[in-house]
């Protein structure tokens, strides 16, 4: 039975304040979560094959694509972690130490400019991060300097972006405008902005995000400010210039499919849980791979119970069942708890598992006040509540 909203709250989940890496995995309900961070947003075909093979040998047989454009292997036994690290290291996928790994939170647009400006900025920024003091574990950078901005909804704290006039700007997340910078000076300016974040009190209890600081303090600005270019919606699976964009339901890529894709060419990893495979050959039909627009591309979901110990209910089976009922052009996020790990930003529709059932949030994030509480899956099946919530 559905109940109107009340002040009743479930016990808050534990906020860890950091994301896993390869050297610092995270313990979950099904073992260790080991995350691989591709350098400059790219991974060679042979490296993708190595990750897929490692997931078959040491994990649960899938590779998860994250909304930070990373790859992760779940279900790794603690005793197998050293052997997994050695395998990844043989293919150049492990940082020299945990500090270097933690700093390298750089998301790069998967559709860079043809002149190579994006690649040069991303490489310079990655190199410059070694000069930074310790930042909060989730603090990150976005290089969004392709023909159009595609990372506006992707989590990042400092953004190097394409400006409305075609130039490059540096923008603090949460600020409406940015400072024009030369492409060859963008990386240094981003490091300076990160230092301001630290000196201005952006870190509290070891955590902190730029947007929260910008709400309290105006970031340093120069004599000129510029508007970012309009943002574009995330693309759907299908042919793209120089290759093919392929998707995976909930970002869960079967290792067997990745082995086949890695043989076709090198890959650009996207924050939309899709891979851009650089190949002239159309990928063959593969189990668990979306090669064209599909209702499942409108849905995100975390691993849910029983795989995550903080989840109050299952998520992906429900998300799969509800995908056809999601209104066209809308995004449904199914979360196992109010943290909303699979989609931290607001979504058109968010369903949150609780000990009493499922809550429905309209145009908000998993932690926001729900419109309706204590739903059963059957209450959502026909999509009527979705249409009502968005009306």
DSSP string of 206-266, one letter each residue = TB--HHHHHHHSPPP--S--BPBPPB-PPP-SEEETTEEEEE-GGGEEEHHHHHHHHTT--
Q: pLDDT class for 18, splitting at 50, 70, 90?
A: low
Over residues 362-371, the pLDDT tens digits come to 999 999 999 9
Distance CA 16, CA 162 (A): 33
Res 4: pLDDT:
37
For domain 26-94+241-277, say whether CATH 3.90.480.10 is its number.
yes
Beta-carbon contacts of residue 378 (< 8 Å; ≥ 6 apart): none
**Whether residue 6 has pLDDT greater than 60:** no
Please give the structure tokens belonging to residue 358.
């499922």
Over residues 91-147, the pLDDT tens digits come to 999 999 988 888 889 999 999 988 899 999 999 999 999 888 889 988 999 999 998
Torsions phi, psi of 315, nearest 5? -130, -50
Torsions phi, psi of 205, nearest 5? 55, 35
In terms of Cβ atoms closer than 10 Å to its own Cβ (0-12, 13-18, 19+), residue 86 is exposed
Over residues 301-339, the pLDDT tens digits come to 998 998 888 899 999 999 999 999 999 889 999 999 999
Homologous superfamily (CATH) for 295-390: Sulfite Reductase Hemoprotein, domain 1 (3.30.413.10)
Per DSSP, which regions of 79-178 are E strands?
Answer: 106-108, 141-144, 158-162, 168-172
Cis peptide leading into residue 174 (ω within 30°)? no
Q: Are 260 and 284 in contact (CB under 8 A)?
A: yes
Distance CA 52, CA 195 (A): 38
Share above pLDDT 90 across residues of the chain, in percent, rounded to a whole number? 80
Query: Shortest CA distance to 214 belongs to which of 187, 177, 188, 182?
Result: 177
Q: Where in the chain is the domain with CATH 3.30.413.10?
A: 295-390
In whole numbers, what is the pLDDT of the chain averaged over residues?
Answer: 91
Q: Where in the chain is the domain with CATH 3.90.480.10?
A: 26-94+241-277
Query: Shortest CA distance to 143 belongs to which of 47, 39, 63?
Result: 39
294: how many CB neighbours lie within 10 A of its CB? 14
Over residues 232-269, the pLDDT tens digits come to 988 999 999 999 999 999 999 999 999 999 999 999 99
283 backbone φψ class: left, alpha, beta (φ>0; ψ -120 to 50)? beta
Q: Are 294 and 237 in contact (CB under 8 A)?
A: yes
């Amino acid at each position: 039975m559905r109940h109107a909203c009340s002040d009743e709250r479930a016990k808050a989940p534990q906020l860890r304040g950091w994301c896993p890496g390869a050297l610092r995995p995270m313990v979950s309900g099904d073992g260790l979560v080991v995350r691989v961070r591709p350098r400059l947003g790219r991974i060679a075909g042979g490296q993708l094959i190595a990750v897929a093979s490692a997931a078959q040998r040491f994990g649960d047989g899938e590779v998860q694509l994250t909304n930070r454009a990373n790859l992760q292997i779940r279900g790794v036994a603690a005793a197998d972690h050293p052997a997994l690290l050695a395998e990844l290291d043989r293919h150049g996928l492990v940082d020299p130490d945990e500090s270097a790994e933690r700093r390298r939170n750089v998301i790069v647009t998967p559709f860079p400019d043809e002149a190579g400006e994006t690649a040069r900025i991303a490489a310079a920024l990655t190199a410059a991060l070694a000069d930074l003091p310790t930042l909060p574990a989730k603090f990150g950078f976005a290089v969004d300097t392709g023909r159009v901005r595609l990372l506006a909804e992707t989590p990042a704290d400092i953004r190097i972006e394409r400006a409305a006039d075609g130039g490059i700007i540096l923008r603090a997340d949460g600020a409406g405008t940015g400072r024009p910078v030369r492409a060859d000076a963008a990386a240094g300016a981003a490091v300076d902005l990160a230092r301001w974040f630290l000196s201005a009190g952006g870190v509290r209890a070891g955590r902190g995000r730029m947007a929260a600081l910008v709400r309290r303090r105006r970031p340093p600005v120069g004599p000129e400010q510029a508007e970012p270019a309009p943002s574009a919606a995330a693309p759907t699976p299908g042919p793209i210039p120089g290759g093919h964009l392929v998707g995976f339901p909930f970002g869960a890529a079967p290792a067997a499919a990745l082995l086949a894709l890695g043989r076709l060419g090198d890959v650009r990893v996207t924050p939309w849980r899709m891979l851009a495979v650089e190949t002239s050959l159309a990928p063959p039909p593969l189990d668990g791979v979306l090669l064209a627009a599909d209702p499942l591309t409108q849905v995100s979901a975390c691993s849910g119970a029983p795989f995550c110990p903080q989840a109050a209910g299952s998520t992906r089976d429900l998300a799969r069942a509800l995908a056809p009922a999601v209104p066209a052009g809308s995004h449904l996020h199914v979360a196992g708890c109010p943290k909303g790990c699979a989609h931290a930003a607001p979504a058109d529709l968010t369903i949150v598992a609780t000990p009493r059932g499922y809550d429905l949030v309209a145009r908000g994030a998993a932690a926001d006040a729900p419109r309706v509480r204590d739903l059963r899956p059957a209450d959502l099946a026909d999509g009527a509540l979705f249409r009502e919530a968005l009306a």
